[in-house]
Structure 1
Amino acid sequence: MISTAFHARRLMKGMIMTKPGPVETYRILYIEDDVATATRVKNVLQQHNYEVSVARTVEDGRAAYASHAFDLIATDLNLPDGSGREIIEHITMNPPFPPIIVVTGFGDERTVVEVMKMGVSDYVPKDPGGHYVEILPHLIKQALEHANLQHSAAAISKDLEENRENLRTFLNNSSDLIYITDLDGNLLSWNPAFRLALGYSDAELSRLHFADIHQHSRQGLAREIFHDLKSEKLFAFSVPLQRRNEEVFEVETRVTKGKWSSKSALSFIARDVTKQREIERELVHSQSILREVIDALPELIYWKDTDQRYLGCNEQYAKRIGVDDIADLIGKTSREACGTEYPFSGIETAEYKVLESGDAVNHLVREIENQDGTIEYYDSSWIPLHDERGETIGVLGTYDNITERRKMQMLLRERERTLRIITDNMHDIIGLVSPNMVYKYVSPSHKQLLGADPSEFMGASPIPRIHPEDFERVGSVITEGLSTKQAQRVEFRFKHNAGHYLWLECIGTPILDDDGNVSSIVLASRDVTDRKRIEEELRQRKEELEVSNQELDSFSHTVAHDLKNPLNTLIGLANLLNESPDMSEEDVRESLGYIEESSRRMNSIIESLMVLAGVRKQDVTPSTVDMDEVVQASMERLEYFMKERRATVQVDELHEALGYAPWLEEVWVNYISNAAKYGGEPATIQLGSEKLSSGEIRYYVRDHGPGLTKEQQDKLFQPFERLNQVQMKGYGLGLSIVKRIVEKLGGTVGVNSAEGEGAEFYFTLPAPEPVAEANAVSSE
């Protein structure tokens, strides 16, 4: 009794506890022998909107539970007349039972495990400070929520099973023929009506295919229809079913695609329409007189029912679609009657529109290609057929052969199109404007060149489309033309409809009226954008060549000077060694050391020249570069030099960037070697990078040397400039190469420094595309 009452209360409350705090009062039974503790717990729970009953013994707890329906039980284990386990065992004997929480100051982990196995929802120990009283309402709330969810899920599961049973009963009692196949056409399941109508046993049906149950003479069509059903191109069809005794009866079948035992399947509902088809045939027979009339008409005429199945046609229509006997059409769709050879394919859409809306579709011209390749044109119309109550019962279609008339129209259109093509493909665009610069005529070629329909120009002025920087110059030419009444030539930028500008070469020729005044101006314009681009490229190449020649002159002097110094050293030491055979071994080694140093300097100059030549001529595609690897390679090249200079390097985080590793190695070698040379004795160098808001990565090389003056900074990165001609015995190519490399990779170079504060040389490169974004682009 009590368990049933608890279950009913739980179902009525449903999901109430899914919201914060109890929405309606829940009844709690608290079993505790200590009066003070029981009173305190009761007061706290009542503050949380719970109705609390207190029992102090096992016997009192059993009696309270037997006489009332409680939503939750909370009990101590140590009671005067026994153990709380007795109450727990008593309650859990008759499920469903309310959640139980054990609240006790006695027991250990073993006790907890034992009571939890008995079905207890939760367990809270009594602590000396009494904090468990504050925790208890939250544990009760969780236990009630959990119980609500369990009972709601059980109710839903029960409803679902009832719905399934109802559906099963409906299918078994349905008079329609219902069956299911897999996507290969094998029968999987069927209702009793289907089995009785076909006369097969269940075992026999389980071995049959979709095509086997249809009229055997039309099994090919049945297989074709099944293919369309499977690909969801068709959702209804009408092919007769054949019983086990080979008797054929007509059905109207509809199909849906879904699941059967977790696998894709097709569900069919077939209805016996044999009597309906007989009535339709009788109706066609009664209309034989009307057929004689329409057979005499030259138009092709047919009519169909609301399912788009033929009710009749005239002889001309039947002959045109290749049907010898009109009776063979009755009750069939166009596809069923002619298959893929139906000449007017696609008309079903127009027929459906008429049947659905009740409105006629008139004079739709259709182009039909015959099997011999000839083309015919038909003026097609469809009108709804109504019964005496005005309801739509079918559709009447007519086709009027207008091939000869169409050929004449096409001939005229072809001539018109030829003239339009000539006009539209003129190289120049022609416009006629009034003296106040308003278009009166625009040639069709405006659309091709300027992306705007000629109608957009009519009544408007070309002035707003002229580039603001060219407006004043064009205005002067217009004024000059109106004043002198002579043709004027001007080049200007004109706005395309897409927003960009084209360079036009325009010749404006005034047209004079009988009084000698300008009545109109003919504007003949030609697109010279490519020519202007080439001219601009030539100008830039000329400037680049001049700069290159200047650099080459400076380069020649610098290289000659920088190569001459180590070369003179080599020559002098070679002569010295040749003329002084009695030199000591120590002096010889010292001389050879100078020779080696000079040779290295010359080799370094030559390598720099090769890098510079490569940067000038080579085009590379930037890719993601692991800058840690590049810096490592640079440090390996400078290992001997750095030991010689006693320089130390600290490398912070180096982000990846877009670039070309071999060139970037040269950049780092230049920056690091310069820092080692000028960054103090010995130099302490810091390398690192940072991400900029512009989407670039900024790399830097910092030293703690004497720094650079403003004048020195202004000369940096210029072709063949040195930092200090006296101290730096090398060559002046390094920073020029750095600048060329970085700018060619899409970045910038620079320096931050002040006298006495060291220097920071930096360069920037584009950041690589984020991985997530790149994957999204590639998947698209």
Structure 2
Amino acid sequence: DISTQKELELRLEDYKEKIGKISNLIPSFRFWNLFTPKKYDDALHNSYDMLQLITENIPHYIFWKDSNLVYSGCNSNYAKFIGALIPEDIIGRTDKNLLRSKRNFKSTERLERDVLRTGIPIINQIEKWEVENSDNIWLNTSRIPLRDSKGKVIGVLITYEDITSRKKDEHKLIESAAKYHDLFETSPNGVMLIDLKGNILECNSALEAISGYSAEDFIGKNIIQLKIFYKNGLEILLNGFKDLINKNQIELVEFQILTKDNKISWIQIRGKLISRKGVTLILVVINDINTQKTIEQALKENEKMYRELFDTSTVGIMEMDLKDNKVANINPKLLNILGYSREDLKDEDLRLKIIHPEDLQKLISPTQEEELEFRIFDKDGEIAQKIAKSKGIKIITSDSAVSVNGKENNVRGITLKSGKKIQCDLVILAAGVTPNLEICEKTKLKTNRGIIVDKYLKTNIPEIFAAGDVTEAPDG
């Protein structure tokens, strides 16, 4: 009859309205129109199936309550969220029975009663929920009044979207931005953020200490408008940017700038391409190297002065490389004294030929800064006592003493083998032994001026040791 048909039509419209409200809450869904079947009972059944299909397949939590805030139904997602086995388990119950957190209960009840009272929906409200034995969760909630055919509010439809993961990502992003800002501002180096057209977007306060210009003097300007470049500094920077854009790398570039107080200063630039919100930008780090350059220049000048003194000195000078334990350099004066040429300095074992083995160790292992006297050999192998001569000591190597003139307590001089007499007040006699190495010639022992041993007196034959005047220790 006509009354049954009208009732079916009203129920059909009611379900269409419910489906429309749900589909509008979920942007990823399109709402489609139902074709009107021939029989209204089929249409009602199809509408119910469609509503059930939507609510069960969307990722949201969906439920609805009557005007007394008693549950009338929900989807499976919400049943699982609330701790029910199946959606039917919550019908006829209230949040007071289901929600474990009193805070959550009081908050949701107040909002739902406001919707029932005013008939005004509350859409996309972000809420933080307490969850027992778990981390708190974040929900994007919507509460929409449900009306009967006469427009009277008879209940409320609620949807929850779990946005906890999104909120965590947002929090991480905020923390990251804060760290970036702190690093940006506390960096001892100047930092600039420039777009690919050369416009300066950001810079930190350290740049003012380097250039004398404030951040406001840089931000919003193009780098070619800046007045800080000295000589070809801008050209060097632009070439560096070209390499950065084309090769995604920039070598360290150095150039001079003119500070605000009109002083010339050195800076070092390095850059990197970064992406911010999908836009490629240039991150530029500026390092003040003016002090370093000043030191480098002073070092060059001192090195030049030292080399000039080294090469022109009237005193023999030898440089020892203590790290590699070798003669690093000998100046022309000492080369001349010893009879060596500059080419001879390439000899890795030159130190063993020049310095007496007994004196070598005290040269390469000094305990403190002090004046040392040591014996050196010239190219012919003779001992050159140059330090002794410089102190007024006369050395005679081609003659020998045969007698002492005078009495024991009154020495007047000595007589040499050549017959020459030398006057003196004191005679010191020192005896040394020249090793006879002939016995070693038929063995495998290595010899030079003596049997060569290491610092443990071991020869090249592990079972044989040697000691005393018969030995020669290259390492002292």
Relative contact order, CA 8 A, sep 6+: which one is greater?
2
Which structure has more helix as a fraction of its residues?
1
Which TM-score band (shorter chain)? 0.3 to 0.5
TM-score (normalizing by structure 2): 0.35
TM-score (normalizing by structure 1): 0.23
